[in-house]
Each structure stands twice: as structure tokens, then as C-alpha cells.
Structure 1
Amino acid sequence: MGRYLDRNEANTCLNLGKTIEVFLGRIMEDKEVISYLALMKTKDGRVEMQLIDHYDEGNLEYTDIYDFSYVDPDMGFETINFENLEQCTDFIRKRFHLDEIGFVNSGLCQEEYADLIKEEGRT
């Protein structure tokens, strides 16, 4: 099985009450910040999307982005609700200028982060 979920698999995960994620990488002007999205189903069946920003405190030996410091811990996450995954996907493509969206199971953004570090030639 590959790392990425297709849209049907992503929808199934959401319907089962699981969180899925999309690693965005360095999307802010401050290139010391890494970002990802967390998507989950709400009780009323909508899809909630959270944009999460962390300071890049890692390296190939330490890729647990979930432990990194939040950019603004007092503000919380930017959260937007959508009627369904299709509407959410359309928004993600437009807002973040993505042709392909790499949905992954919760917890796998750290592997995406490790790939980014390798791409950048960091250790």
C-alpha cells in the first residue's frame, strides 16, 4: 500500500471518524515554518479542515513535526468547515495552488517532512 490515499480512501477514513492530513511544507514567507492540514468529519457530517503551522525544529534524526512549536499557540488553528470532501478538496487546490493533493493518514506528515528535508539536502 502506498503512502497516499485516493479520494475514495480519504472519504472512507473520514466516514470512519479518522483524521487525515495533507502536508503543505513551506508555504509562508517565513521559510522556517512548515504547514499541514488536518481534516476530520464533524458530528453533523461536514468536513472540518485545520491549517496548522509549526516552526521547523527538526532534522533527519528528528522528524516529529507534531512536537514542534506552534507559530502562534494562543491563536489556535485556522479552521474552515465544508459540506463534503469534494468541496474541501476544491478549496485546497485553489488556496494552496496544488495540482495533486497528497492525503495521508494521521501521523504520516512527519514522513512527508523527512522527504522535504532530503529534497532540500539538509541532514
Structure 2
Amino acid sequence: MTLYLSPQELVARVNMGKPVEQWLSHVHKADYTVIKWIALNREEKQFGLTYFESFDEGEEDFYDVHEFSVIDPEDAPLGINHVFNTVEAAVAFAVQNYGASANRFVAFGMIAEEYRKHLLSK
């Protein structure tokens, strides 16, 4: 079971320099599937929100989304990055622009578990 961070835990973790992530969605195309997720981390005195889209290359025993090929090679390997002055501003942007939920962030690395849940739901 995935443990989602409370808003207070999210802010505290990121302020301590510990990144967080969130699974957003998947989209089926004609001959492939795209998965989407975001990562939020501290960058010096600001906060970076990175949006990722990659090919769904996972299998039952391989679900590290960080290893999947990105859709747009110009974004490789870092995704699309946005910078904010506060964690709260980054989260608000993610909710408004990427359909994220303020209550579904997980600790860095747990995005693989979120992806695994997606695989099991297929």
C-alpha cells in the first residue's frame, strides 16, 4: 500500500531537500501508452517541479519509471522543469496545470509502487 504524504509532510520533506513525486495518469495511443508523473524538489533556495511523459515500457518485474524512455527527446532526461519560490506555489501549479492532487504525493522512489498499481489494474 502506498503512503501518501499529508500537506504538512510534503512541505517538510521538500524543505529538507527530500524530493517527492506523484503519478498523474496514462494515455493510450494507437500503438503505445504514455505515462505521466511529476517530481518536486528543492533547488538551492527555490523549488523545482518537473513534469515527465514517457513510454510505458514496464513489465511485471520492471517498473522503475525513471528508466523509461521519454516521449520528447528534447526533454531527456530531465523532463519539463518549472521553478517556484515556495513548495505551496509549486503544488498549486501542478494541480492547476497537470491535474495533480495535493494529497497524492509520495516520497521519492515510491513512484515505482504507484506505477506497479497501474500495471496491476490493467
- TM-score, normalised relative to structure 1: 0.83
Partner of 1:32: 33
Q: Aligned letter for 1:115?
A: K
Which AA in structure 1 matches 2:97?
A: R
- Structure 1 counterpart of 2:60, one-letter code: L
Candidates 84, 87, 93, aligned match of 1:91: 93
Partner of 2:54: 54
C-alpha displacement of 1:72: 2.2
Q: Distance in 2 between matches of 1:97 and 1:74?
A: 23
Quick one: structure 1 residues 78 and 98, their matched pair in 2 at CA, closer, same or farther if it must change by over 3 Å?
A: closer
Unmatched tracts of structure 2, length 5 or more:
none
After superposition, the C-alpha distances for 1:37-75 in whole angstroms (9 at most, x for unaligned) are 11111212x211011121101122221111111212333
What is the percent sequence identity of the aligned residues? 25
Per the alignment, in what secondary structure is the counterpart of residue 24 of structure 2? strand
- Mean CA deviation greater in 111-120 or 65-74: 65-74
Matched, 1:66 2:66: yes
Residue 25 of structure 1, CA deviation: 2.2
Under a length normalisation based on structure 2, what TM-score does the superposition of the two structures give? 0.83
Alignment partner, residue 20 of structure 2 = 20
Unaligned 5+ segments in structure 1 are none
Compared CA separation, residues 98 and 107, structure 1 to 2 (3 A): closer
What RMSD in Å do the two structures reach over aligned CA positions?
2.1
Q: Distance in 2 between matches of 1:108 and 1:78?
A: 20
Report the Cα offset of residue 80 of structure 1. 0.7
- Are residues 107 and 7 of structure 1, via their aligned partners in 2, closer, same or farther at CA, if it must alter by over 3 Å? same
Letter of the 2:107 counterpart? N
- The residue identity in structure 1 corresponding to 2:58 is G
Alignment partners' CA distance in 2, 1:82 and 1:92:
11
